[in-house]
Amino acid sequence: MSAGAVAGAIAGATAGAAAAAAGARVKAEATTAKREAVLRVYRGDASGGQEVEYQVPVETGMVVLDAIHWIQAHQAPDLAVRWNCKAAKCGSCSAEVNGKPALMCKSRMERFAPGEPIVVRPMKTFPIIRDLVTDVSWNFEVNQRIPPFQPRAGAEWKWQQHDVDRAQEFRKCIECFLCQDVCHVLRSHELKHQFAGPRFLVRIAGLEMHPIDGVDRTPFLKDSAGIGFCNITKCCTEVCPEDIHITDNAIIPLKERVVDRFYDPVQMVWRAITGK
Ligand code: SF4
Ligand code: SF4
Ligand code: FES
């Protein structure tokens, strides 16, 4: 076979393969486009409400937030939903999808079996404003009570990479408040007046473990943040979209500090003797 004939054969095979791939893609897209999902979305406000059913066409790569937007665009323009980035980074689109606290923009539609109803409700722990939007302002009030970062006098503004990494994990928080929503101390026992919740224990851990911070927040943890109410169920860790090890890396070390300071008899005797 001449060089020209070989080149022609390769070009022909490549074109044939591309056409086949394009055909398969069109077929797959056509099949997916035919799929419909059933969404049951909570509609209501503080005075009450109910789940309303919507049929939504499913397309490849869709997330639950896309389905909510489709409903807004085609069937219910007054459906209230809070969102911003659609990239799992702003923490605005928190809701409960099939009973589990989740970011709607991170909940892929293909995760649900065909025909499986997808129930979308607002976060239960916070007062509802309307439909999927809740009032999360209590969280900002808690945040304001936390003693802020204060460098130690004369501290060197230079520290080890492993110290940076430890504090950095806590700085990944996007304030979605899904951990606050799932925590039974806030959700079922409604102890908002006594317990700051996992999100703010994460923030305090980030400050307490900062290598040059000089503030002592241990009494605050015990008395104002109510860390003793946490019984390490780890539900908060399971729902965190940033994969922060809330219980293991933040809450448990903070609990240890409180126990050492206020409940360890050996340390108490030592402090009484030395005054330190
Ligand atoms: S581990 Fe503690 S803070 Fe996290 S959900 Fe359980 S009780 Fe709440
Ligand atoms: S710790 Fe995780 S779940 Fe909690 S608010 Fe931050 S990002 Fe959300
Ligand atoms: S829209 Fe920003 S986290 Fe979902």
Higher per-residue confidence, 187 vs 7: 187
146 CA from centroid of ligand 2 (Å): 17
Mean pLDDT of 240-255: 98
Cβ(269)–Cβ(212) under 8 Å? no
Share of the chain above pLDDT 90, in %: 78
CATH 1.10.1060.10 location in the chain: 137-274
Ligand 2 near 182 CB (within 6 A): no
Which residues are paired to 51 by β-bridges? 42
Confidence band for 276, pLDDT divided at 50, 70 and 90: confident
Give the closest ligand to the alpha carbon of residue 107: 3
| Window from 12-16, 112-116, 253-257 with minimum mean pLDDT | 12-16
Pocket of ligand 1 (CB under 6 A): 182-183, 185, 198, 230-236, 247, 251
Ramachandran class of 187: left when φ > 0, alpha when ψ lies in -120 to 50, beta otherwise: alpha
pLDDT computed for residue 14 by the predictor? 45
Beta bridge partners, 119, equal 40
- 170's CB contacts (< 8 A; 6+ apart) are 202, 203, 205, 206, 209, 244, 249, 250
Residue 58 Cα to ligand 2 middle (Å): 29
3-state secondary structure of 11: helix
Q: Where are the alpha helices (DSSP H) in 121-231?
A: 137-145, 161-171, 178-182, 184-187, 198-208, 218-223
For 173-223, what is each residue's pLDDT tens digit?
999 999 999 999 999 999 999 999 999 999 999 999 999 999 999 999 999
Q: How far apart are CA 227 and CA 243, in angstroms?
A: 21
Phi, psi for residue 264 in degrees, rounded to 5: -85, 110
Angstrom distance (rounded) from CA 68 to CA 30: 22
Averaged pLDDT of the chain: 90
Sorting pLDDT into bands at 50, 70 and 90, what band is 63?
very high
Confidence of residue 115 (pLDDT cuts 50, 70, 90): confident
Taking only the tens place, the pLDDT of each residue in 17-45 is 444 544 555 444 544 456 899 999 999 99
Q: Which fold has domain 137-274?
A: Fumarate Reductase Iron-sulfur Protein; Chain B, domain 2 (1.10.1060)
Give start-end residues of each CATH 3.10.20.30 domain in the chain.
35-134
Tokens 């009570």 locate to: 145
Architecture of the domain delimited by 35-134: Roll (3.10)
Which of 16-20, 67-71, 92-96, 97-101 has the weakest average pLDDT? 16-20
Residue 159's pLDDT band (boundaries 50, 70, 90)?
confident
Residue 272 clears pLDDT 90, i.e. is over it: no
Give the pLDDT confidence of 124-140 residue by residue, as tens digits.
999 999 999 999 999 99
**So what's the pLDDT on residue 266?**
84
Q: What is the pLDDT of residues 46-58, one digit of tens each?
A: 999 999 999 999 9
Q: How high is the pLDDT of residue 158?
A: 87
State pTM to two decimals: 0.86
Predicted confidence at residue 52, as pLDDT, reads: 98
Residues with CB under 6 Å of ligand 3 are: 83-86, 88-93, 103, 105
Closest ligand 3 atom to Cα of 90: 2
- Give the closest ligand to the alpha carbon of residue 173: 2
